Chain A
Amino acid sequence: MSRLLIRNGRMLDPGRGVDLVGDVLIVEGRVAAIGPGLEAEGADVLDASGLIVCPGFVDLHCHLRDPGFEYKETIATGTRAAARGGFTTVCCMPNTQPAIDTRATVEYVLRTAAAEGTVRVLPIGCVSRDRAGRELAELAELADAGCVAFSDDGAPVADGALMRRALEYARIAGLAVIDHCEDPAIASGGVMHEGWVATRLGLRGQPPAAEESFVARDIALAAQLGAPVHIAHVSTRRAIELTREAKARGVPVTAEVTPHHLTLTHHAVAFPDGGEGLCYDTNAKVNPPLRTRDDVAACVEALRDGVIDAVATDHAPHADYEKAREFDEAAFGISGLETAFGLAMTLVEAGALDLATLIERLTAGPVRALGLERSVAGLGSLAEGAPGDVVLLDPAAEWTVEPERFASKGKNTPLAGRTLRGRVAATVVGGRVVWRGE
C-alpha cells in the first residue's frame, strides 16, 4: 500500500479555512488524514518544515499544443512544466491540430496524458467544429469523452448567435463556455494595448473596448439564458466592472486572470526591466495585451475581492524563431506555468494580496469556477478522500528566471533574468512526488 507522509508543514487549504502546522497523509493516492503529529509506519516521508503545504494548483487555461504543434510543446513537456510550477491539474485549450472537437482527439489527449503526463490533464473541447466559428462541435459527446468546458480559445466566439446557441446547448452537459473576449472588428489586428506606448512604437493598438464589448455581450447572453459563461484572461478595468456588476445580479459568470496581467503593463513591451533604450520585446507580446497600470490595479483588486475567481496561466509556449522576428509577425503568448507562482507572489510581497487568498485562487477558486469537482471529487482541497495532489511552497526563497532551464519547450517569457521570491519546493500528484526543487 503506497503511503506518503508530508510532515511538519504549514497546511493552508483556504477553500476549507484550514491553516495549521502539521502533517498530511496520503494513502493509495488520496488524502487519508491531515493534522498534527500523524504517524504512518513505513510511509515515505517528505519533510515540509518551514514550508507551506497546500492543495496542488489547478490551471484553468493552458496550451499544451499536442497534437499538432509538438515543436512548441507536448503533453509530456507541458505537464512537466506544470509540475515545476506547482500545478497538479491543468485544463488544456483545444486550439491544437486537429482541434479538440471530436471524441477521438479528446481520447488522444487523455491517453497521452495518462501515459506520458506528469500531472492531471482535463481537456477543454471546442465550441465550434474545427474552431471555425460556424457550426457547433458535438458538445454532448465531447463532455461524455471527458471535456470539462468548451472554448474556441485563441479566438473569440465572434458570432453572437453561435455563442448564444453554445451557451444554451452546453446545458445538456452542464458545462461552462469559456470565451476569449475580443471583438475582432474593434481589435482590428492590434498587436499590443492601444495607448501611448503603441503610439510611441508605431504599433497597431488593440483598444480595451474590443475586450469589454464581448464581455458585455457574453454577460447579456448568460443572464438571459441562465447558462454559465467563464471569461478567460480578463485584462481591463471596465471588463472587471461589468463582471462585478453581473455577479452582483446573480448572473452565472466567472472569470480568471493571468499572472502577467496582474503584474506587467504595456510598458514592458517597450522598456523591459533593466533594459537600455527602447525595445520591441516580442516576449511581452500577448493576447489580450498587457495594459495600463490602472487595469493592473483593477485586476489585483478583483482577484482580492473574489470578482475574479482564479489565477490561470494562459501558458502559451512557442518556438524561439516564432518570437525572434518582427513584432507584427511574432506569435502572441507567454510561457507561464513555471513562473506563475513566483510572479503572483510579487503581489503578496507588495502587500496587495494575502497568501491565503492567492492560494485560494489557485486551488478552490478555479475548481469552483468550472465545477471541476464533478470530474475529480475533492479536487483543489486537502479534504479527506481528495486526490493526493499537494504542493510544497517556500514563499521566501529567491530564484532567478532562467528560461533555458524551463521544462517547457517554450522559453518565451518577458521575465528572463528577473529575480522572484516564492519557489515551488515539491509537487505531489496522487501521492507520488513528481517534482522536487533543487
Chain B
Amino acid sequence: MAKNGRGGRGGRIATAERAAAAPAEAPPLAGEGVWQRRHLLDLDDFSAPEIELVLNTTDVMKEVLAREVPRVPTLRGTTVVTLFYEASTRTRASFELAGKVLGADVINVSSSGSSVEKGESLIDSVRTIKAIGADALVLRHGASGAPYLAAREAGCAVVNAGDGWHAHPTQALLDAYTIHSRLGGVRGRKVVIVGDIAHSRVARSNLWALTALGAEVTVCGPPTLLPVGLDGRDRDGADEWELPPVRVQHNLDRAIEGADVVMALRLQRERQEAALIPSLREYSRLYQVNAERMARARPDAVVLHPGPVNEGIEISAELAHGARSLIEEQVANGVAVRMAVLYLLLRGRAPA
C-alpha cells in the first residue's frame, strides 16, 4: 500500500504532526504543500488543515456553481470514470456533475450492463479502466476496502464513493461543509449521530472528520447497532486502540441535550429480520429524531441526514422538511465538495 499517499497508521498521531507542521494563520490553499494525497480512500488520518483545505476549496467551487454558466475549463482534457457496484442517485449524479462543471470528460460504468455482469473481477475492471487512461476513478462498492484494492491497481487517483460499512469520505466532507457554513465552524460543536452506526460508512467517515475538526461527537443508537469497541471496551488495552474519540449513549433524549447538530442515519429494513431491532415501531419510538426531541437541543440546532430518508422512521416528515433541516443543502453542497475533491486530486498536489 505504499502508493497510497497516506501518513502513518496512527490517525491521531499523524493528525497532531500535520497540525503542528501547518501554518497557524489562514488555512493554506492548494499548492502550498498541505495536499499530498494521490487518492481519497477514507478520512481516518486526515488532519484538520487538510479538511479545512477541502472546505475552503469548496467555497471557491460554490462560487463557480453560482455563475450564470457554471462551467470552467480547470480539468479539461482529463477523464473521470465512475464505477458503481451499488445503486446510487445523489452520489453518482453529484460526481458526474462535479466533473462536467470542471470540464472533465466523465464516463459512467455500472455493474449492471457491463463486463461485471459477466463475472469480471473488480481488479480486472480496474485494470481495464487503467488501460483506457482514466485520470480519476470514482468507485462505489459493497465490500469494505474495495477502493484500497482498486488504488493498488488503478494507476490513477481513486476516490472512494462509499465502500461497504467502511467509509464515505465525500459525504462526511459535505456534512462538515454544511455544518461549517451554517454554524460558522465545527470546533466545539456538539454533534449527535443517531441510528445504525454499525453498518454505516457515512457515520464512520463523519466520526473521523468531525473529531479531527474538534467537534464533540456522541453516537446514539441501540447497542445492537453500535460497532464494537467505540466505547473503548476492548480486550486489547488502550495503547493499541485507534478509533475516533466519541461518546456512546443509548438514550436519545439524553444524547440530544444541548446538541448543535443532530444527524439521523438511514435505517435499513433488513435490520429487523436480523434481530438487530425488534420492530420499526419500537425503533422509531426510541430513536426517531422529531420536533419534540429537538426541543432538548439548542434553539439554533440543525438536522442532517445523508439520504435517502425513511420519513417517519428515523426522522419525522415534519422535521425532515422543516426549517431546521439541512438535507437539501447537503445535496446541493455535495456537488461543490466533489468538485473540490476532484480538483485537489488532479490539480492540487504540490510538485514533489
Contact = CB atoms under 8 A, between A and B. Distances in A.
A196 B9 contact: no
B7 interface: yes
Interface in A264-292: 265, 267, 270-271, 275-280, 292
Given A196-B234, A280-B149, A325-B149, A202 B144 contact: yes
A327 interface: yes
Nearest to B41: A278
B235 A280 contact: no
A279 B149 CA distance: 9
Contact of A195 (B6, B45, B166, B229): B229
Interface stretch (B47-55, B236-244, B331-339): B236-244
B121 interface: yes
A188 B173 CA distance: 33
B236 A195 contact: yes
A337 to B, nearest CB: 27
Contacts of A278: 1, 4, 6, 9, 41-42, 44-45, 148
A195 B242 CA distance: 11
B234 A292 contact: yes
A195 B146 CA distance: 20
Q: Which of A265, A267, A294, A326 has the most CB of B within 10 A?
A: A326
A270 B6 CA distance: 14
A397 interface: no
Contact of B1 (A199, A276, A293): A276
Contacts of B146: 326
A202 B123 contact: no
A327 B237 CA distance: 26
A295 B148 contact: no
A265 B237 CA distance: 13
A211 to B, nearest CB: 14
A235 to B, nearest CB: 13
A329 interface: yes
A277 B7 contact: yes
Contacts of B163: 202
A314 interface: no
A280 B7 contact: no
Contacts of A198: 227-228
A194 B235 CA distance: 11
B167 interface: yes
Nearest to A324: B123
Contacts of B144: 201-203, 280, 327-328
A294 B241 CA distance: 13
A325 B241 CA distance: 27
Nearest to A294: B235
Contacts of A280: 144-145, 148-149
A20 B42 CA distance: 58
Nearest to A199: B227
B166 A201 contact: yes
Contacts of B241: 196
A205 interface: yes
B93 interface: no
A200 interface: yes
Interface in B1-54: 1-2, 4, 6-9, 41-42, 44-45
Given A200-B242, A278-B42, 16 more contacts: A199-B230, A201-B144, A202-B145, A202-B164, A202-B167, A203-B164, A203-B165, A265-B236, A277-B45, A278-B1, A278-B44, A280-B148, A292-B236, A321-B121, A325-B121, A325-B123
Interface of A: 194-196, 198-205, 237, 265, 267, 270-271, 275-280, 292-295, 321, 324-329
